[in-house]
Amino acid sequence: MSVLAAAATAPSFAFVIGDHLPILQVIVPLLGAVLCALTRRGSFAFAIAALVSWSLLGVAIMLLWQVLGAAAPITYYIGGWAPPWGIEYRVDALNAFILVLVAGVGAITIPFAYRTVGKEIDEDKQSWFYALFLLCLSGLMGMAVTGDAFNIFVFMEVSSLSAYALIAMGSDRRALLAAYQYLIMGTIGATFYVIGIGLLYVVTGTLNLADLATRIGPAFGTAPQPILAALAFIVVGISLKLALFPLHLWLPNAYAFAPTFVTTFLAATATKVAVYILLRLYFTVFGGAISLSDLPIAEVLLMLSIAAMFIASILAVYEDSVERMLAYSSVAQIGCITLGMAIATRAGLTGSIVHLLNHAVMKATLFMAIGAVVYRVGTSCMSELAGIGRKMPLTMGLFVVAGLSIIGVPGTAGFISKWQLGIGAVDAGLWPLVFVLVGSSLIAVIYIGKVVEVAYFREPGDNLADARDPPASMLIPMALLGAATIYFGLDTTWSAQIADTAAQILIGGLK
Amino acid sequence: MQALQSLADNYNYFITIFLMVSGLYIVIARGNMIKKLIGLAMFQSSVYLLYLSPGKIVGGTAPVLDPAFTVYSNPLPHVLMLTAIVVGVATLALGLALTVRIYEAYGTVNEDQIFARDNKK
Amino acid sequence: MKLDVILRVTTKFMLPFIVLFALYVHFHGDYGPGGGFQAGVISAAAFILYALVFGIEATQRVVPQRLLEVLMPLGVLIYAAAGLPAMVLGKTFLDYSVLAHDVKHAHEWGIFIVESGVLITVASTMLAIFYAFVERGR
């Protein structure tokens, strides 16, 4: 009898991977980072990083699958503590989509790292490099998966601190300066965010996002000022992180001087996750509690987005370094994303969310292509790349495909998001925005066209004598993402439809 | 008189605001990278005060359950700020490490001189 | 440095007490002010004091750089490892209640293990930062 009772109470092995998917998004890369830090060999650390990135993508896809099949958001209580006391991970279609995006970019681009890191980073620092990369990945995944406002701050700092260190590993001394400036701006942004959360905590007494959404409304009746101040702090703080014009000053140098793999990864993920945080807090938390249309935030956001789309695009036209040009183009594309947010209709938000994916895919392709050029030629200055298209046909071909997508040519991913944004604008009665979208695309024609002109219509110089397409480990990730640019332009089942579900969740929560 | 009274009653918030604004001012106005980091640290420490002062209840004790006490201070802000302090220390350490490397590469920690040296090349 | 007898003797005399105090702060951390972070900083201070008085080479014989580079990730590994048993046994990550038969004891153990991980990482990181700054410009 006593033996039976003991057997009944003794803990039994009951590990079901499906129950733990939310936490695995964070601890798989975290443990991978620790293992990388324990190894002393760069190639060994690379193997760990690759295995971790690939299995993380599998875990993220499983979670998305689970979320799309479930009626309610999937929740996970850390340490068994129920919210609002404990930290809750809460996953719905929106963050599951972001998780797959981040994990996907990590998994596809990691083979690209092997050669470029081998060339750009000293052998004894390579294992630390991969550890930092996985730490950054873990922070980004954590930001997307968590349902706790303060936990977002912690993961934001995990990803940002490792990103600063990764950028500082660039070979040019200006990389150090870029990392320092990013550190100052990023820390100000994160501190603004945490001030906003603090004000919210003082008036509502909770940090859980879902709980905040229900409590801000009643609190707004008695004390509106702290909540408005909190909203302002949070929007400005995250805008710094996502490089909303005119808070983008850290971005061009950080992307231009970082190691090429870091540029590719951060350009495709870091700002996207920050956009997700803004969407989540603005629509789910504040939008669910107070009437946002009474506040002038949408108008401000609209103006800044339009300014970003034009001014940053024009700055891109005048850049000689292709990497900096692409960085300015990123600022402009982020303007497109926030434009959909300012429109705040279902179609507009769908455009924003699908552009998160599409922009990540095409910008990663572009940065990888130019990274391959830097790998072979050693520079990304346009003046020295005359005729590169003939020497590196596959690389530059993929550059052109992704470039067409940045412009928004039909049949590419960029077209789908611009189309959705256009529909959203017309729906909201803001039809002049369609001209804005077309206008910014026309400027993109100029800066992408400049590269194409240099690459294809000039005779190769002597400095390109040894240039040829990079090895397969760099070419395959590029080709995969290049193909994805076309695929998402033709079949929107996995992009626009999930984005639409996510947009519905955001709009449905609005008061 | 009333204004003075409210100043005295809410002195903790005024200290918070003073630290916040002066820290941010130093970050923006100073060209010296070390001074910028000092400003950043001040800016971050204002946040610690912002969280901690509403959490403290005058006369409350640490929240260890005991029949002798009925009033407890809120422990959560302390936990949050412990995390924020660690983050702040890590940021400061990384910033200082970068400054050391920048000094070795450029021979100065003044931003204007660094920009001038980069543009000359 | 060789002639500075007072400094050398007092340092040697104080070192065990600093480490002991660090351990006190660590073990006391679960029901009073203290914990792994503070204990880590204090114990790192002991080694830094040793380095200031006896020189960096002597300290690096005691705690080589290679050892630090193992200890830093190891602490994080201990922290994560404290959370994993709960996952295997059907609870959520970092649920300490599976670590012992009594829930209160289990939580005490869980916090202790986690704080030990913090202690190892913080102490070794502090020392690594110190080494890094001392070795600059040599």
Residues of chain A with pLDDT under 70: 1-14, 511
From chain A, pick out residues whose CB is under 8 angstroms from the CB of B44.
187, 191
What pTM, to 2 d.p., does this model score?
A: 0.92
- The pLDDT assigned to C137 comes to 67
DSSP state, residue A348: H
- Give me the residue from C90, C95, C96 closest to A14, CB to CB: C90
For residues A397-416, one letter each, b for 16 or more C-beta atoms within 10 angstroms of the residue's C-beta and e for the rest, the string is: bbbbbbbbbbbbbeebbbbb
- The pLDDT assigned to A152 comes to 94
CB-CB under 8 Å, A187 with B40? yes
From chain C, pick out residues whose CB is under 8 angstroms from the CB of A19.
90
- The pLDDT assigned to C119 comes to 93
The SS3 of residue A146 is strand
Selection from A194, A227, A201, A192 nearest residue B24 by Cα: A192
- The pLDDT assigned to A41 comes to 85
The answer to whether residue B53 neighbours chain A at the CB level (below 8 Å) is no
Selection from A335, A355, A336, A143 nearest residue A247 by Cα: A335
Burial of B3 per CB tally in 10 Å (0-12, 13-18, 19+): exposed
CB-CB under 8 Å, A174 with B27? no
Chain C nearest-CA distance from B31, in A, is: 23
At C102, list the tokens. 């009594």
- The pLDDT assigned to A268 comes to 92
Chain A nearest-CA distance from C71, in A, is: 9
Q: Could you tell me the CA-to-CA distances from A120 to A160, A168, A371 in Å, in that order?
A: 21, 12, 11
Q: Is there a contact between A280 and A93 (Cβ–Cβ < 8 Å)?
A: no
CB-CB under 8 Å, B100 with C136? yes
- The pLDDT assigned to A132 comes to 94
Chain C nearest-CA distance from B78, in A, is: 11
The share of chain B scoring above pLDDT 90, in percent, equals: 39
Mutation site, A12, A38, A134, A138, interface C, largest C CB count within 10 A:
A38
Written as one string, the DSSP assignment of A57-123 is HHHHHHHHHHHHH-SS-EEEEGGGPPTTTS-EEEE-HHHHHHHHHHHHHHHHHHHHHHHHHHHHS-G
From chain C, pick out residues whose CB is under 8 angstroms from the CB of B82.
37
Written as one string, the DSSP assignment of A199-232 is HHHHHH---BHHHHHHHHHHHHHH-HHHHHHHHH
A→B interface, C-beta within 8 Å: 150, 153-154, 157, 161, 164-165, 168, 173-174, 176-177, 179-180, 183-184, 187-188, 191, 194-195, 198-199, 201-202, 207
CB atoms within 10 A of CB A83: 20
CB-CB under 8 Å, C76 with A11? no
- The pLDDT assigned to A8 comes to 42
Written as one string, the DSSP assignment of A364-392 is HHHHHHHHHHHHHHS--BGGG-TTHHHHS
The SS3 of residue C134 is helix
- The pLDDT assigned to A10 comes to 46
C37-60 pLDDT per residue, tens: 889 999 999 999 999 888 888 899
The answer to whether residue A250 neighbours chain C at the CB level (below 8 Å) is no
The answer to whether residue B57 neighbours chain A at the CB level (below 8 Å) is no
- For chain A, what's the residue count? 511
Mean pLDDT within B66-77:
82
Angular region, A287: left φ>0, alpha ψ -120 to 50, beta rest: alpha
- The pLDDT assigned to A329 comes to 93
Closest residue in chain A to residue B74, using alpha carbons only: A205
Using pLDDT thresholds of 50, 70 and 90, give the confidence band for residue C2: low
The SS3 of residue A1 is coil
Q: Is there a contact between A97 and A30 (Cβ–Cβ < 8 Å)?
A: no
A429-487 pLDDT per residue, tens: 888 889 999 999 999 999 999 999 988 888 887 777 778 888 888 899 999 999 999 99
CB-CB under 8 Å, C132 with B97? yes
At C30, list the tokens. 């679960």
Burial of C2 per CB tally in 10 Å (0-12, 13-18, 19+): exposed
- The pLDDT assigned to A462 comes to 78
Report angle CA A29, C112, C94 to the nearest 5 degrees: 40
Rounded to the nearest 10 degrees, how much is the dihedral formed by the CA atoms of A18, A22, A24, A27?
Answer: -160
Mean pLDDT within B34-46:
94
Closest residue in chain C to residue B64, using alpha carbons only: C31
At A333, list the tokens. 């594309």
Q: How far apart are CA A212 and CA A194, in angstroms?
A: 15
- The pLDDT assigned to A14 comes to 64
From chain B, pick out residues whose CB is under 8 angstroms from the CB of A150.
80, 83
From chain A, pick out residues whose CB is under 8 angstroms from the CB of C72.
37
Residues B2-120, CATH architecture: Orthogonal Bundle (1.10)
Q: How far apart are CA A189 and CA A182, in angstroms?
A: 10
Place of tokens 């008189």: B1
Closest residue in chain A to residue C88, using alpha carbons only: A15
